[in-house]
Amino acid sequence: MKDAPAAGSVTITVDDRELQVPEGITVAAAVLGHAHAGRTYIHPVDNSPRAPYCLMGVCFECLMEINGEPDVQSCLISVEEGMIIKRQLQHEEVN
């Protein structure tokens, strides 16, 4: 039996793991505030791990797949009930 969500929270799924997070925060803040803290994205040019940095949409270091759409700046998107989020830790090589 699952715990009931806390008042003022929403349930999101990050990398196939359900998390309860405060409503009104950004996706970047939600991911950083849980066990997924750390890298959220692998840079496609040099394979370096990236994580949210500026948290205001300037640096593009917080890119994640949100509800099936890749390369979304997660610091600009507020969490919503049932949102599906995937960290972009792999990329396809372009030939």
Interval 4-31: pLDDT, tens: 556 799 999 999 999 999 999 999 999 9
Torsion of CA 74, 32, 67, 7, to 10 degrees: -110
Residue 4 inside a domain? The answer is no
Indicate the pTM of the whole model.
0.82
Residue 1: predicted pLDDT: 47
Which residue segment(s) compose the domain that 67 sits in? 9-87
The enclosing H or E element of 34 equals: none
* Domain CATH number, residue 29: 3.10.20.30
Residue 94 inside a domain? The answer is no
Higher pLDDT, 23 or 1: 23
For the chain, the domain total comes to 1
Residue 1 inside a domain? The answer is no
Residue 93 inside a domain? The answer is no
CA 70 to chain centre: 11
Interval 22-70: pLDDT, tens: 999 999 999 998 865 568 888 888 988 888 999 999 999 999 999 999 9
Residue 50 inside a domain? The answer is yes
Residue 25: predicted pLDDT: 96
